[in-house]
Each structure stands twice: as C-alpha cells, then as structure tokens.
Homo-oligomer: A and B are copies of this chain.
Amino acid sequence: MVNIAIMGHGIVGSGVVEVLRHNCESITKRAGDSINIKYILDLRDFPDSPLVDFFVKDFAVIERDPEVKIVVECMGGLRPAYDFVKRCLLSGKSVVTSNKELIAKKGCELLAIAKEKNLNLLFEASVGGGIPIIRPIVQCLAANEISDIVGILNGTTNFILTKMVKEAMPFDEALAMAQRLGYAERDPSADIDGVDACRKIAILTSLAFGKHVDPDLVYTEGITGITLTDVAYAAKWGGVIKLIGRVRRFSDDRVMPTVYPAFIPGYSQLSTVDDVFNAIMVRGDAIGDVMFYGRGAGKLPTASAVVADVVDCVKHIKARKYLFWEESEPGYIKDHATAFGEMFVRAAVTDYEGALSWLSDRFHVVRVLSDPGDELAVILTGVEGEIKSALLGDAPLEVKNLIHVVD
C-alpha cells in the first residue's frame, strides 16, 4: 500500500479523489499496489464529505509523516504551493501537480531538487488537461529533434472564438456565455489576456528544448482585440482565428515562444479544434507533424491526468522519469519582432489605392481582402518588427488590427 496526500480539495483535487475511488480496482492493478489517501489538505471544512476524517489544515502534518510517499498538489497559484511542494521534495516525497503557474515559474528549481533527491515531480495535467502531452513529447524527443510546437492551449478562449466564428456572436456576448457555462472565471483576464496559454507554452518550451523559459519573457497577446470584422476577413481568406501558443527553434538553438490570436488556414487540423477542446501539434525531424487533441480542462479529464501520474509514481517509486530542464542563459529567447512571416493588417484609410500602394512599396502584399472603400484589409509578408514600426509611423492609414498568420 502506498500512502498519498492530496493538497487542495477544489475542482481538480476533489476530481482526483473521485477518479481514485471510482476506478480503484483497475488503478490498483495498473499501479501494482493499492493507493491510500491518508490526508487531504484544505483550509475549508467539508463536514459532509465521506472522507471527513482525512482532512487536515496543517501542512506540517503531511510534511512530517514519513509514511506519505507521494503528494498531489491541486491548490493552484504560486503561494503557498511553491513552498509546500519544495518542502515535500526536500522531505523525500514525490510530487504530482496540475499547477501550470508553479511549473512554468519554478519548474527548473523544483526539478533540480527532485533529481538531487532521486524523486519524481510529474505534471502531465499542467498542460492540455487530460490530453497526454508531456510524456508523448518526451517520447518524441527520444528519437527526434523537435523544431516547432503550435497549440490551442486554452479552452475558454477557444470557446469564445468558436462562438464568434461559427455564430457571429460578439466577443462580449461570447465571454458572458462562457462565464454562465462555467468555462470562464468571473475575472476572466488569465484566460482572455493569454496568461494561461503563456504558462503552458513556457512549460512545453522548457520541456521540449531542455532550458527554462520564464513565462514573463514570452511575448503574449490576448483575444480582447478580436472583432467580428476580423473573423469575417479570416473566413474570406479561408481560415479561422484561434489563440495560439507557439514555439519555434532556430538553427542557433535559440527559441521563440509566443502567444497570440492568429489566422489559421482551413486545411490545418488546428482549424477544426472547436469549443473548449485543446490540441497541440508537435513537429519533429523524423516523425513529421503529430497532433494531440482532447479536453484541455474540466474536473475529470484533469483529474485523470493527475491520477495517471500518481500511478506512474507508484510504479517508479525508486526510479526517476526523464523530465528535466536546466537554467537558460540570457539571450536564449529570440525576439519575436525579428520573426519573418505573414500578418493580417486592417486599417482605416481615406485614400484606399494610395494606402495600398504605400504598403506594396514597403512589403510584399500577398493578398487584398477588402473591397475599395474606407477600410483596407491585406495579408502582408515581412519582418514583424518592421511591419509594426512602419505602420505606427507616418503611414497613410490608421491601423485597426494587426493579427499574425500561422500556417
């Protein structure tokens, strides 16, 4: 029997209890040992829970109990999760967490402690919810040099954009619906400003390329500036707008992780990933493109990924899994402004033909999407920083929106 403690009895934590109890028999068979929940840490009272006797409020009870071999952290946030997880590792307990903020910010330090102590720190649920992605990337890595990762990493924004694309529902209305359905928080900023997707692409970048990427250094745009007009132009172009977390590795081994809404062509598998679903496309030199798709959030999908990690910990109680990255050197992240590619530009103009010539003189205009009038909409090719500075200078047009194109 392996004793575990679960920290946090919110949505994910209670889901973990539910999955462990509901699929107890098959989990025991797979793990090769029974898993016993010895403690649940939560500051709140749950007098009606059938597990009422297992609740504790003091973390030190778990920390000091040598019988607890694995601690599951489902509290979320950096404080006190960071302190608790570190102390768990230092006191010889393996840790499973669903906490993307924790891994994105502190993964490098915590993984080093786990390595030093010969313990496991697993975090499959931190990216893509229930979708197996962390292990498949490690597995792909075993025989591939990965060059690109592109993913729809946030279900809330994907739900909102799907409503805008499929039902021409305005942003505010779609957000309100997401909140009513429980897909978005009352304060939706972590989702709609791209913060959540940013943490996830930081984790994937750190893992895939072996060096830590601080989420604060990831160029991040949210979706609040996307309008139904932009959505209509994307449709005319032959695609949809999705919030994309993306990382590219360059030949000098530097990486460019970004989060932004982007035009995605209709032929891309990512273009049909709708509603709250997530998908992550990984490109390797031998394997080509592989994609992983599923529910990126939700109580049971996320809990199922956590429980799979717990089972893996039980099976590898004395052997470490290969999950590790090092500190990165300054300059490791390549400035997104140096990226060459396509961008969608929508601008108010007084002289339509004049503005179009002005753009054509400076950049390669791939396609004009607007009809002559007081709004010009085109797809340009150029260096991102140069496009932006030209448009913000004395251009004969007033930019309404500037959206990346990802193919």
Contact = CB atoms under 8 A, between A and B. Distances in A.
Interface of A: 15, 19, 22-23, 26-27, 30-32, 124, 130-132, 135-136, 139-145, 269, 272-273, 284-295, 298, 300-301, 303-308, 311-312, 315, 319, 322
Contacts of A32: 322
Contacts of A311: 142-143
Given A135-B139, A141-B30, A23 B294 contact: no
Nearest to A133: B136
A307 B143 contact: yes
A246 to B, nearest CB: 18
Complex A-B, nearest 5 residue pairs according to Cβ-Cβ distance, in ascending order: A290-B294, A143-B307, A286-B304, A291-B293, A142-B311
Given A272-B269, A293-B293, A286 B143 contact: no
Contacts of A286: 15, 19, 22-23, 130, 300-301, 303-304, 307
Nearest to A294: B290
A23 B132 contact: no
Question: Which of the listed residues A285, A286, A295, A303 has the most CB atoms from chain B within 10 Å of its own CB?
Answer: A286
A286 B141 CA distance: 28
A295 B289 contact: yes
A269 B295 CA distance: 13
B294 A289 contact: yes
A140 B144 contact: no
A148 to B, nearest CB: 14
A289 to B, nearest CB: 6
Given A32-B322, A291-B292, 19 more contacts: A15-B286, A23-B145, A27-B142, A132-B140, A132-B290, A135-B135, A139-B312, A142-B308, A143-B304, A143-B306, A269-B269, A269-B272, A269-B293, A286-B304, A287-B304, A288-B298, A291-B291, A291-B293, A319-B319
Contact of A30 (B142, B273, B285, B294): B142
A32 B287 CA distance: 22
A145 B26 contact: yes
A204 to B, nearest CB: 15
A360 to B, nearest CB: 34
How many protomers of this protein does the assembly include?
2
- Looking at A22, A139, A142, A143, the one whose CB has the most chain B CB atoms below 10 A away is A143
Given A142-B30, A142-B311, A315-B322, A288 B136 contact: no
Contacts of A288: 130, 294-295, 298, 300-301
Contacts of A30: 141-142, 322
A283 to B, nearest CB: 10
24 contacts: A19-B286, A22-B286, A23-B286, A26-B141, A30-B322, A32-B322, A130-B287, A132-B136, A135-B135, A136-B136, A136-B292, A139-B312, A140-B308, A142-B307, A143-B305, A284-B304, A285-B300, A287-B294, A287-B300, A290-B293, A290-B295, A291-B291, A292-B292, A315-B322
A269 B15 CA distance: 27
A124 B140 CA distance: 11
Contacts of A303: 143, 286
A290 B292 contact: yes
B293 A294 contact: no
Contacts of A301: 286-288
Contacts of A272: 269, 272
A296 to B, nearest CB: 10
A284 B136 CA distance: 18
Nearest to A29: B210
A404 B215 CA distance: 48
A286 B287 CA distance: 29
A233 B223 CA distance: 39
